[in-house]
Chain A
Amino acid sequence: MKEIMADLDRWRAQGRRVVLARVVDIEGSGPRLPGAAMAVADDGEVAGSVSGGCVEGAVVAEALDILATGDRRLVTFGYSDDDAFAVGLTCGGTVHLFLEPLDW
Chain B
Amino acid sequence: MTSIYDLWRSAVTDSRPVAIATVVEGPGVGAKILVGEDIEPVGSLGDPDLDRVVVRDAIGELAGGRTGVRHYGPHGEAREETVSVFIESFAPPPQMLIFGAVDFTGALVRIAKVLGYRVTVCDAREVFATHRRFPQADEVVVDWPHRLLERVGDRLGPRDAVCVLTHDHKFDIPAIIAALGTEVGYLGAMGSRRTNAERLLRLEQDGADMDEVRTRLSAPIGLDLGGRTPEETAISICAEIIAARTGRPAASLSVTEGPIH
Chain A residues packing against B (C-beta within 8 Å) = 1-2, 5, 8-9, 12, 22, 24-25, 28-30, 33-35, 72-74, 96, 98, 100, 102, 104
B90 touches A34 (CB 8 A): no
B67 touches A34 (CB 8 A): yes
Q: How far is the CA of A30 from the CA of B4 in the complex (A)?
A: 29
Among B25-33, B180-188, B204-212, the stretch in contact with A: B25-33
Complex interface: chain B residues within 8 A of A104 (CB): 3-5, 30, 32
* Proximity bits, B1-26, A CB within 8 Å = 1, else 0: 00111001100100000000010110
Complex interface: chain B residues within 8 A of A30 (CB): 261
Closest to B93 in A: A2
Given known A5-B9, A9-B9, contact A29–B260 (CB-CB < 8 A) = yes
* Proximity bits, B247-261, A CB within 8 Å = 1, else 0: 000000000000111
Classify the interface of chain A: helix, strand, loop or mixed.
mixed
A97 CB, min distance to chain B CBs, angstroms = 9
Q: How far is the CA of A8 from the CA of B4 in the complex (A)?
A: 14
Given known A22-B88, A24-B24, contact A72–B29 (CB-CB < 8 A) = yes
Q: How far is the CA of A72 from the CA of B89 in the complex (A)?
A: 21
B88 touches A1 (CB 8 A): yes
Closest to B260 in A: A29
Q: How far is the CA of A54 from the CA of B68 in the complex (A)?
A: 22
A24 touches B86 (CB 8 A): yes
Of the listed residues A28, A29, A34, A104, the one surrounded by the most CB atoms of chain B closer than 10 A to its CB is: A104
Complex interface: chain B residues within 8 A of A22 (CB): 86, 88
Given known A29-B259, A74-B24, contact A100–B30 (CB-CB < 8 A) = yes
Complex interface: chain A residues within 8 A of B197 (CB): none
With A22-B86, A28-B259 already in contact, 16 other A-B pairs whose C-beta atoms are closer than 8 Å: A1-B88, A1-B90, A5-B12, A24-B68, A25-B68, A29-B259, A34-B69, A34-B88, A73-B29, A98-B22, A100-B22, A100-B30, A102-B5, A104-B3, A104-B5, A104-B32
